Amino acid sequence: MSKSVSDAEFGRLTIRDDFGTHATPTREQVIAAIYEIVLRPDHYERVVSVWDDHLSDLLRDMGDFSNAGEQPLAAELQVDPELQDHFRRAHVILEQLGRKAPQSELERCINGAPGFVLLTGVDGRVRAAGQAARQLLDNPRDLGALRAHLPVPSAQMLDGLLEAAREGTDQAQAVVLSTDMRPRHLIARMAPCDEGSGQIMIESLDYQWTPAAERMLVSSFGLSPAEVEIVRNLMEGHSLREIAERSHRSEHTVRNQAKSVLAKTGAPGQADLIRLVAFLIERGNQLRTNGHPGAVDLNDEVLEMRTGLKMQLYQCGDPKGRPVIYLHGMMDGLAPLQYLKDRLHRRGLRILAPVRPGYGRSEPVADPHAALRAMSDHVGELMDRFDIRRAAVLGHMAGVVQGHTICAGGDPRVRGMVAVAGSGPLLRRDQFRGMARRQRVMGYTARWTPSLLPFFVRAAISLIDSEEVQTFMDALYPPGTHERDVVARLNLGELMHAGYRFAAQAGTEGFVSDARVMVSDWVSPLSKQAKPVIHLHGALDPVVPVGVAEEFAGTRTNVTFRVLADVGQFLIYERPDVVLDALDELPA
């Protein structure tokens, strides 16, 4: 393996934003930089700098193709075969080293929670615990500490849930556990897991019984005072026999009243009733990750689609609102929905956010253009499953490409799309020149040396996995830039971090697929008779320069292009009402 590159050696390399006079990195420096990133993920940006210089030299040797007349489908660059071998070897080493499992957002949130909450793997080992759980169970290592406080039926229900998780069942029903301690009831349910294997979250069902709670049960379900008393006693952990003894009534009478309560509330059984009432009395009782700004607290599930692929689906907003299909970008994931979820609900919008192939827990598709077709099929199937007659599309950044594909697909249920910070195909070198350096280098690599792209994506994932997310963010949005100021002003830092981890969750497939599509001619196959698109773009966008976006919009008769002054790439955060107002403009 080549020797490590010193800071001084890196420092001699000039970082440029365009072609020109520079200190050319030697071949040996490029090779050393390739292996440096394996040893030091935090050196990623400096390695990108070396590659930027080297790749720019190769492009300059092709000639000064700096205007729109450049041949858009020029051949790929020929990289030194030995250099390619070093890239491949380093990629193999990264894969052999495996992924470091960073603490998940859920684990971070649970470890910081004051209440009783546990997160365990399918093996019963505790992954995270709230403060009350650590105190009551004496810093438990596994579920054995909790089992000591469970009666046999509750222990059996917990075992059943663990078995379902081991078998990979995503939709196992939550169970309510009784305990001999405070809290008297716990709810155990499946929880999403970044690695794809199951995990269980166990939370307190503590609540505060008040006169307002009694009035809620009477007004919502028409319970009688005696029935309300039954519910209160059940919530305190008493059996029907104990309730009969305490109230000096026959057990037969109490059982009939309990059956009446179940019938009025629609709860299938006592455990379901306890869960329902606890939720209604104290909606905020269950662990809510919105207190932790890096987490995405949205309902999600994994669906088996007609394509044979598994697709993760998130939902938020008003369940009875106007349907909107949200298509996420490369790096931000579902962070915009987390940021806007209350506003979306107030606007009366029902958001369905299918996770695109290769991201989150959605299965990847090897061919990038096949992935576009598969996702279009998935969106159509979603509208079938949820009986959606009309839906708008909201495409964000790289998700805009998928949105154009859907809008040109001819489905009469699609109203059109609002495209935020999107781009057309990037085929010419001049289209990359106005980009920030990191994005430009990745674009160059995807366009002219695509076989090397997986290495750079995998190296970036190593940086994210190493918890050096701030370093990663500094490179994307350097201090002093408009984007970095927006992150600070709107407190978006943790949401950005969550987006990076979402992008890295499934590995390299989603990002590599997106990058390859962006630098291909994905527009030509689209029908000219497409649904209307309102393209919103920030004048200060450092990733897709406004001129590049406007040039593409001018080639599509169905696109209305609007520029927002003093706004950058984070338009959806800076001007959310402009985005939502545009959705209202689409044909009903």
Neighbours of 319 (CB within 10 A): 9
- The continuous run of DSSP H or E covering 142 comes out as none
User: DSSP secondary-structure letter at 270?
Assistant: H
What is the pLDDT, as a whole number, of residue 281?
Answer: 63
User: Can you tell me which residue has the tokens 């939502």?
Assistant: 580
The rounded distance, in Å, linking the Cα atoms of 191 and 193 is: 6
Phi-psi region at 310: left, alpha or beta (left = phi > 0; alpha = psi -120 to 50):
beta
Going from the C-alpha of 390 to that of each of 384, 414, 416, 461, 475, the distances in angstroms are: 11, 6, 10, 38, 41
Q: Decide if 494 contacts 292 (C-beta within 8 A).
A: yes
The rounded distance, in Å, linking the Cα atoms of 9 and 47 is: 11
CA atoms within 13 A on the CB side of 506: 23
Structure tokens at 23: 């200190």
Going from the C-alpha of 66 to that of each of 19, 439, 477, 542, 548, the distances in angstroms are: 10, 18, 26, 19, 14
Give the pTM: 0.67
Q: Decide if 36 contacts 4 (C-beta within 8 A).
A: yes
- Residue 23 phi/psi, 5-degree rounding, is -85, 110
CA-nearest of 204, 202, 115, 205 to 165 is: 202
The separation between CA 74 and the C-alpha centre of its own chain, rounded to angstroms, equals 35
Q: Does domain 305-436+481-585 have CATH number 3.40.50.1820?
A: yes
- The continuous run of DSSP H or E covering 9 comes out as helix 7-11
The rounded distance, in Å, linking the Cα atoms of 25 and 12 is: 9
- Cross-strand pairs, 303: 311
Q: Decide if 187 contacts 271 (C-beta within 8 A).
A: no
CA-nearest of 424, 376, 463, 374 to 546 is: 424
- Cross-strand pairs, 316: 351
Name 47's Cβ contacts closer than 8 Å, sequence gap at least 6.
33, 34, 36, 37, 459
What is the pLDDT, as a whole number, of residue 577?
Answer: 96
Which spans in 466-535 are helix H?
Answer: 469-476, 482-489, 493-504, 509-518
Judging by DSSP bridges, how do beta strands 414-420 and 533-538 pair with one another? parallel
- Residue 257 phi/psi, 5-degree rounding, is -65, -35
CA-nearest of 229, 429, 406, 211 to 326 is: 406
What is the third-level CATH fold of 213-270? Arc Repressor Mutant, subunit A (1.10.10)
For every residue of 43-87, DSSP letters joined together read GHHHHHHHHHHHHHHHHHHT----STTS-TTPPPP---HHHHHHH
- The continuous run of DSSP H or E covering 347 comes out as none
User: Can you tell me which residue has the tokens 């959310």?
Assistant: 576
Structure tokens at 405: 């594909």
The rounded distance, in Å, linking the Cα atoms of 267 and 128 is: 31
- Cross-strand pairs, 134: none
Q: Decide if 318 contacts 342 (C-beta within 8 A).
A: no
Burial class of 467 by CB neighbour count within 10 A (0 to 12, 13 to 18, 19+): middle
Contacts of range 368-374, beta carbons closer than 8 Å, 24 or more positions apart: 368/513, 368/514, 368/516, 368/517, 368/520, 369/517, 369/520, 369/522, 371/513, 371/517, 372/401, 372/402, 372/405, 372/517, 372/522, 373/405, 374/307, 374/309
Going from the C-alpha of 545 to that of each of 421, 423, 437, the distances in angstroms are: 10, 9, 13
CA-nearest of 512, 505, 487, 570 to 536 is: 570
Output the tens digit of pLDDT for each of the chain's 588 residues. 333 333 333 333 333 333 334 456 777 888 888 887 777 777 787 788 888 888 888 887 665 444 444 444 456 787 888 888 888 888 888 876 666 555 566 787 788 788 899 999 989 999 999 999 999 999 999 999 999 999 998 899 899 889 888 887 655 667 778 888 888 788 888 876 655 567 898 988 756 666 667 777 787 778 888 898 898 888 777 788 889 998 899 999 999 999 998 888 777 777 778 777 776 665 433 333 333 333 445 677 889 999 999 999 999 888 889 999 999 998 888 889 988 988 999 999 999 999 999 998 899 998 999 999 999 999 999 999 999 999 999 999 999 999 999 999 999 999 999 999 999 999 888 888 888 778 888 888 998 888 888 888 888 877 776 665 567 677 677 888 999 899 989 988 878 877 777 777 778 889 899 999 999 999 998 988 899 999 999 999 988 999 999 999 999 999 999 999 999 999 999 999 999 999 999 998
What is the third-level CATH fold of 105-204? Beta-Lactamase (3.30.450)
Residue type, 400: V
- The continuous run of DSSP H or E covering 312 comes out as strand 310-317
Residue extents of the structural domains in the chain: 105-204, 213-270, 305-436+481-585
The rounded distance, in Å, linking the Cα atoms of 91 and 77 is: 20
Judging by DSSP bridges, how do beta strands 126-129 and 117-121 pair with one another? antiparallel
The rounded distance, in Å, linking the Cα atoms of 170 and 302 is: 7
Burial class of 557 by CB neighbour count within 10 A (0 to 12, 13 to 18, 19+): exposed
